[in-house]
Structure formats: structure tokens, C-alpha cells
Amino acid sequence: MAYAGSGGDIGFAIPDYGVFFPPNLTPDPETGLGGWTAEEIIRAVRAGERPDGRILAPAMPWRSYAALNDADAAALAAYRQSLEPVVNPVPGPFGPRESASAPYLGLVLPGTE
Ligand code: HEM
């Protein structure tokens, strides 16, 4: 059963970046954050960097979440890790010249319209 935070099948298209889908943030080891440590989750939220080094697209507001203090960031990671795992693979990510396999919304970033 899917619930909020277990991934979405409607993506966000960001000019020059590609199309990105809300990831599965439950602790499923294959399709979610099950293999991630709390430190890795915190790094993704505050610095936008995944364990594989990929920098998350600005659909994920990590530049704003950079202001989270250590206690709040740790609480956020602990909460995500406390949830029931949900198996839910999401599409993508797709590069700027790839065509997405599922529907998406177009984002316009401030200052670029
Ligand atoms: C406090 C709340 C949030 C937490 C804990 C969180 C956590 C994360 C994490 C850990 C990732 C990386 C997952 C992965 O690569 O598999 C991620 C990516 C992402 N998040 Fe968030 N997020 C939050 C809020 C949001 C919000 C508000 C949005 C959009 C409105 C959003 C949209 C996205 C998208 C689209 C990605 C994928 C970006 C990419 O693949 O480049 N997130 N988030």
C-alpha cells in the first residue's frame, strides 16, 4: 500500500535538468532509503547530495532545508527510518534530452521565467 512519502508517479520537469519523480522515502532497501544511514539522509536533505554523489535537482528544496539545525535534521531522518517499508519503484530520473515514461508537471524557477 502506498502512502505519503512512498514515492510518486507524477514528476516535475525542470528546464535544463530533466524530469524528476518524488522518491520513495520509506525504508525499503530496494526502492527506498533502506540502505541509507541517518547521516546519508541528512546529507541529501541539507546538502542535496545522494550517497552516489549525484546532486539532487531543485524540485527537492534542499537549498532551503540547508537551514535545518542538527536536532531537527536528526529527527527527520529518524522519522523516515521509523516508517513501514513500502515497495514502490518510481520512474526516472530522466535527463534533459530524454523522454519521461510517466506524466510530469513543468516547473518555472523564480528568475528564469
Ligand atoms: C522534509 C521533507 C523532505 C524530506 C525528508 C526529503 C527527502 C529527500 C531525499 C532523502 C531525497 C533523495 C532520495 C533519493 O535520491 O532516492 C529526496 C529527493 C527528492 N525530493 Fe525530497 N524531501 C523532502 C521534501 C521535499 C519536497 C517538499 C519536495 C517537492 C515539493 C521534494 C521533492 C523531491 C524530489 C523531486 C526529489 C528527487 C530529486 C532528484 O532525483 O534529483 N522533497 N528528498
Q: What is the pLDDT of residues 83-100, one digit of tens each?
A: 999 999 999 999 999 999
Strand partners, 104: 11
Domain membership flag for residue 111: no
Q: What is the pLDDT of residues 5-28, one digit of tens each?
A: 999 999 999 989 999 999 999 999
Regarding the beta carbon of 34 and ligand 1, being less than 6 Å apart is answered no
Domain membership flag for residue 58: yes
Q: What is the pLDDT of residues 40-73, one digit of tens each?
A: 999 999 999 999 999 999 889 999 999 999 999 9
Nearest to 77 by CA among 1, 3, 5, 2: 5
Distance between CA atoms of residues 61 and 51, nearest Å = 18
Domain count, the chain: 1
pTM of the predicted structure, to 2 decimals: 0.92
Regarding the beta carbon of 42 and ligand 1, being less than 6 Å apart is answered no
Structural domain range at position 39: 11-106
